[in-house]
C-alpha cells in the first residue's frame, strides 16, 4: 500500500460527486488545485537562549464563495499534503452548510505540549507576521484547530492588529470573549456533532437515550461531544486520548473524566481511574461493538488495515478525514452508516461565521441565540444530505459532496475564469 495522502481522498470523492452531477473534467479542474500555498520559516528564540526555526503553512483552497476560512494546527505531524486536504475539506464544509466562505487551513510543525507559553506565543506571533499578507477579515480568517485554542487566536489577533496599526477583531475567530469572541464558540463543533448524532439516530428510528457510544480523542471536540451526548442520555462506554483509552461496559463517568482532564492541560487518561473501568488502546476503541463511534482525533484512523474489524453501526466523523477512502468502501459493504466530516463537524465553522458577522457588525448575541442559530443551520443541512443520498441511492458522504461540489462549481462558473 502506498503512502497515505489525504489530498487524494479529497480528489477521489469530489470526482465521484462530479460524475453523478454530470460535470465534465473541465468543470471541476480549477477546484482540484489550491489557489494559494504559502510555506514560511518561523525563527524563534527559545527559553534556553537557542534559536529554533519552525516550519509553517497557510493554504487557501478556494475563495469562489467568499473569504477563505479554516483553522491553524500546531502538531508535529503537520505537512503540506495534510494542510492542502484540510483546506479543501473546509471549502466543501462551508458549502454543505451554505455559509459564504471558501476554504483555507494553516499549520506549524511543532509539539505544543513540549513548549512553554512564552515559546508558543513567540511562534504564534512570528507565524502570524509571516502569513499576514494572506489573511484578513475580507481575505482569509483563521481559527483554532488541533493544538491551538482561544489564547492562540488572541495572540494572532493582537499581532495582526499591531501590524495594521488598529484593532481588527474579525481577522480570526475562536478568540477570547474579551477580544470579540462569540459565546458558544468553544462548544460549537462538539455541539454540532451532538446535533448530527441525534439527527442520524432519529432518521434510523433509534432513541439516543441509552444508546452506546465510543469517542476517540478528548481534545476540545471529543470532550465537548462526550459531555453533550452524555447529557442527552447516551451511554459513553469508551474514550481515549494520545495516552490510550478507557472502557466501562456500563458507561463511563464523563463529568468526572472532564473535571480531571481540565485541571491541567498535561493530564492524560493514562493516569485516570474509576471503579470498573479497563484500559484499552486507541485501536481497540475503534473496534468496539457500539451503536455510535465518534472518531474525534486525527486523519486516517480507520483505513484498509482495520476497516473490516469495525463493529459500530454508525460512525459520526468529528475529526477531519478520520476514514481513508479505501476504508469507506469496506464500511459501506458492511452496512455501517458514516456521517461525513464536512457535515458532522461543521458546527465550529458555522459559529465562527456567527462570530465574524458579530465582529464586522459590532453586535453581540447571547449564547442561547448562537446555539439556536447553529441548530437552525445544522438540522436542515443534515436533512438535505440525507434526502439527496436517498434519492441518488448513495452514501451520506457522497450526498454531502453532491450538495457541496455543486455549490462550489456553480459559484466558479458564475464568476467565470479570469481574465
Active site residues: 105
Question: Distance of CA 15 to CAs 11, 331, 385, Å?
Answer: 6, 20, 18
**3-state helix/strand/coil string of 310-330:** CCCCEEECCCCCCECHHHHHH
Q: Tell me how far apart the alpha carbons of residues 239 and 242 are, in angstroms, rounded to a whole number.
A: 11
Residue 58 C-alpha from the chain's centroid: 16
The two beta strands, 212-216 and 140-144, are unpaired
* CA dihedral (201, 204, 207, 210) positive or negative: negative
Q: Tell me how far apart the alpha carbons of residues 12 and 144 are, in angstroms, rounded to a whole number.
A: 27
Residue 296 C-alpha from the chain's centroid: 9
**Residue 164 backbone zone (phi > 0: left; psi -120 to 50: alpha; other: beta):** alpha
Name the strand (E) or helix (H) holding 278. strand 278-280
Neighbours of 163 (CB within 10 A): 13
Kindly provide the residue ranges of all beta strands, DSSP E only, lying in 181-263, ordered along the sequence. 212-216, 235-241, 244-247
Place of cell 488598529: 166
Q: Name the DSSP letter for residue 3.
A: P
HSE-CB at 81 with a 13 A cutoff on CA atoms is 12
Place of cell 490510550: 244
SS3 190: helix
Q: Tell me how far apart the alpha carbons of residues 165 and 326 are, in angstroms, rounded to a whole number.
A: 50
Q: Name the DSSP letter for residue 335.
A: T
Amino acid at each position: 500500500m502506498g503512502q497515505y495522502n489525504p489530498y487524494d481522498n479529497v480528489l477521489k470523492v469530489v470526482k465521484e460527486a462530479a460524475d453523478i452531477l454530470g460535470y465534465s473534467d473541465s468543470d471541476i479542474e480549477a477546484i482540484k488545485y489550491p489557489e494559494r500555498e504559502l510555506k514560511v520559516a518561523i525563527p524563534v528564540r527559545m527559553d534556553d537562549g537557542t534559536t529554533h526555526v519552525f516550519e509553517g503553512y497557510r493554504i487557501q483552497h478556494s475563495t469562489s464563495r467568499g473569504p477563505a476560512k479554516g483553522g491553524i494546527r500546531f502538531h508535529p505531524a503537520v505537512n503540506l499534503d495534510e494542510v492542502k486536504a484540510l483546506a479543501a475539506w473546509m471549502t466543501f464544509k462551508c458549502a454543505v452548510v451554505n455559509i459564504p466562505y471558501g476554504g483555507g487551513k494553516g499549520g506549524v510543525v511543532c509539539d505544543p505540549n513540549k513548549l512553554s507559553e512564552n515559546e508558543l506565543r513567540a511562534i504564534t506571533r512570528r507565524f502570524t507576521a509571516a502569513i499576514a499578507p494572506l489573511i484578513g477579515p475580507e481575505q482569509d480568517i483563521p481559527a483554532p484547530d488541533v493544538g491551538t485554542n482561544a489564547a492562540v487566536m488572541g495572540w494572532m489577533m493582537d499581532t495582526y492588529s499591531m501590524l495594521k496599526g488598529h484593532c481588527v477583531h474579525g481577522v480570526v475567530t475562536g478568540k477570547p470573549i474579551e477580544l470579540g469572541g462569540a459565546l458558544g464558540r468553544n462548544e460549537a463543533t462538539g455541539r454540532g456533532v451532538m446535533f448530527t448524532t441525534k439527527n442520524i439516530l432519529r432518521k434510523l428510528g433509534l432513541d439516543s437515550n441509552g444508546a452506546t457510544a465510543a469517542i476517540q480523542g478528548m481534545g476540545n471536540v471529543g470532550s465537548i461531544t462526550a459531555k453533550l451526548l452524555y447529557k442527552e442520555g447516551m451511554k459513553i462506554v469508551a474514550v481515549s486520548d494520545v495516552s490510550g483509552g478507557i472502557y466501562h461496559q456500563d458507561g463511563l463517568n464523563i463529568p468526572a473524566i472532564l473535571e480531571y482532564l481540565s485541571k491541567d492541560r498535561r493530564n492524560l487518561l493514562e493516569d485516570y481511574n474509576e471503579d470498573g473501568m479497563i484500559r484499552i488502546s486507541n485501536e481497540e476503541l475503534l473496534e468496539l461493538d457500539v451503536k455510535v463511534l465518534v472518531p474525534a482525533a486525527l486523519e486516517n484512523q480507520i483505513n484498509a488495515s482495520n476497516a473490516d474489524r469495525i463493529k459500530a453501526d454508525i460512525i459520526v466523523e468529528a475529526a477531519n478525514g478520520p476514514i481513508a477512502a479505501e476504508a469507506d468502501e469496506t464500511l459501506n459493504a458492511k452496512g455501517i452508516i458514516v456521517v461525513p466530516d464536512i457535515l458532522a463537524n461543521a458546527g465550529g465553522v458555522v459559529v465562527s461565521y456567527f462570530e465574524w458577522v458579530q465582529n464586522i457588525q459590532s453586535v453581540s448575541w447571547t449564547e442561547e441565540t448562537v446555539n439556536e442559530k447553529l441548530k437552525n443551520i445544522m438540522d436542515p443541512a443534515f436533512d438535505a444530505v440525507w434526502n439527496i443520498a436517498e434519492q441518488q441511492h448513495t452514501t451520506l458522504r457522497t450526498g454531502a459532496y453532491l450538495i457541496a461540489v455543486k455549490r462550489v462549481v456553480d459559484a466558479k462558473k458564475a464568476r467565470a475564469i479570469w481574465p
